[in-house]
Amino acid sequence: MSKPASFPQLETERFILRRIVPADQPAIFAGLSDAAVTAYYGISYDTLESTQAQMDWYELVWKTHIGIWWGIAEREHPEQLIGTCGLHEWEQEDHCAEIGFWLTPAFWRRGVMAEVLPAILACCFRNLGLHRIQALVEPDNAASWRLVERHGFRLEGILRECEYKNGKYQDLRCYSLLAHEAQELIARFPVPI
C-alpha cells in the first residue's frame, strides 16, 4: 500500500494527530525557535516568517509522497499544536522511512509521545504499508532514544560523526523497527483510515 488519498487523522485518549495547516505557523515557530526543543532537533528558526520554509516542507513531503507529518494537539484544544511527529525519507519502493518528533517543553514528561507514537506506528505499518521505520537520535538525547526503545525499536549501531552541527561532527544512534516486530502494537491499536 502507498500514500492514502486523504490525510489520515488519528486520535488517542488525550490527543488528536492532524494535518498541519497554515494557522499552525505560530505554534511551529514557537517550538522550532525554542533552544530546549532544537538542542537535539537539528532545525531551528529565528523569525516567524522564516518558519514558512518548514510549513512548505510539511506540504511538500506529503504531496510528493516522501513523508507525512502530524500536528499533535490536545483533544480539548485541537486548534493548538503542542508538537509534531512524522515520517520523512519515505522510500515507497523499499517500504521504509525515518521518524522524527518534537514537543514544546510545557508538555515534556507528561506521556504525550508515549501515547501518540503507538498510533502513528500502527498507522504507518498497517495503513501506509511500511516495512521498516528508523530513528536517528543523538547519543545525549536520552529521552528520545529511551522512548523509541520502549516502543520496540532496536539499536543497530552508531553512525559515527555523520552529522555536522554547531561547528562539530556528531554521532547518531541508529534504531529500527520492522513491521513483524510491531504486530502486537498493531493489533492493540487498530487505526482505520
Note the pLDDT tens digit of each residue in 23-32: 999 999 999 9
List of domains in the chain: 10-133 (3.40.630.30)
Residue 130 half-sphere exposure, CB side, CA atoms within 13 Å? 32
The predicted structure's pLDDT at residue 193: 44
The predicted structure's pLDDT at residue 1: 42
% of the chain at pLDDT higher than 70: 95
The predicted structure's pLDDT at residue 184: 83
Whether 70 has a pLDDT exceeding 50, the answer reads yes
Nearest Cα to 33, choosing from 8, 12, 54? 54
* pLDDT (mean) for 155-159: 97
In contact, 174 and 157? CB cutoff 8 Å: yes
